[in-house]
Structure 1
């Protein structure tokens, strides 16, 4: 006896609907990401949101005590990178359940790997 095609199609549709719902939830959680980093001297503060977009930049007025614009620029860039790294770690935590066990923040593209892994699992029939 063969299995009805409708049963397989209904299961596949339900599986993809769940994946779609999961993606929507993840997107909403990503939109809520906020990470702030401060420079070592406390004169620069950077907040990034979402996937690492600049949300806020604060420069303490004491930065004007020195005229070294290159040092200030480097401090801003370094502080921004620190904040982006914090946001990336939050993004990894959000997508962690959709990744293989061996995934780490260093070897994972958090923007696509979780979804590729889930699709691979679905293709292989694990889910």
Structure 2
């Protein structure tokens, strides 16, 4: 009997912890969503000839090519440099979005899921993570 009561109390405590985490996450939802949508990251190529800005979704917002690119006529190399610079910026944008969301996440989700995509996809993944915890919990 005592073991059953302890188990019930542990389950109640866990449910209360999850409830407070969900409340904290939903309370900051609008603010975090606005921050996520405003994420922009600038990256500069190693040779400093390519500068890109990507948004939270990893999509290119701007591209600036230094006139020095005309001194290196290898178009394949230029294309590879542009693609790599966009990838670096996109990865940094994803990381920034995860950092913005981490305060809302229960410890079980921090570093455990691959949170990527647009702000909406990221928040959908977080919601799914909460649901997984509740199912397991």
Which TM-score applies when normalising by structure 1? Answer: 0.70
Matched residues in 2 for 1:35 and 1:87: separation? 6
In 2, Cα distance between equivalents of 1:118 and 1:23 = 14
Q: Is the 8 A contact 1:30 1:51 kept in 2?
A: no
**Larger relative contact order (Cα-Cα within 8 Å, sequence gap ≥ 6):** 2
The reply to whether residue 104 of structure 1 matches residue 100 of structure 2 is no
Q: Is contact 1:38–1:46 with CA below 8 Å preserved after alignment?
A: yes
Q: Equivalent of 1:91, from 74, 97, 109?
A: 97
Count of residue pairs brought into register by the alignment: 108
Q: For residues 73-93 of structure 1, what are the alpha-carbon distances to aligned partners after superposition, in whole Å with 9 as ceiling and x for unaligned?
A: 000000001101110110101
Provide the TM-score with structure 2 as the length reference. 0.66
Q: Which runs of 5+ in 2 are unaligned?
A: 1-18, 117-121
Deviations 1:44-100 (A, max 9, x none): 011111221211111001101121000000000000011011101101011112334
Look up the SS of the partner of 1:56 in the other structure.
strand
Q: CA deviation at 1:22?
A: 3.6
Partner residue, 2:125 = 113
**Which consecutive residues of structure 1, in runs of 5 or more, have no partner in the other structure?**
1-11
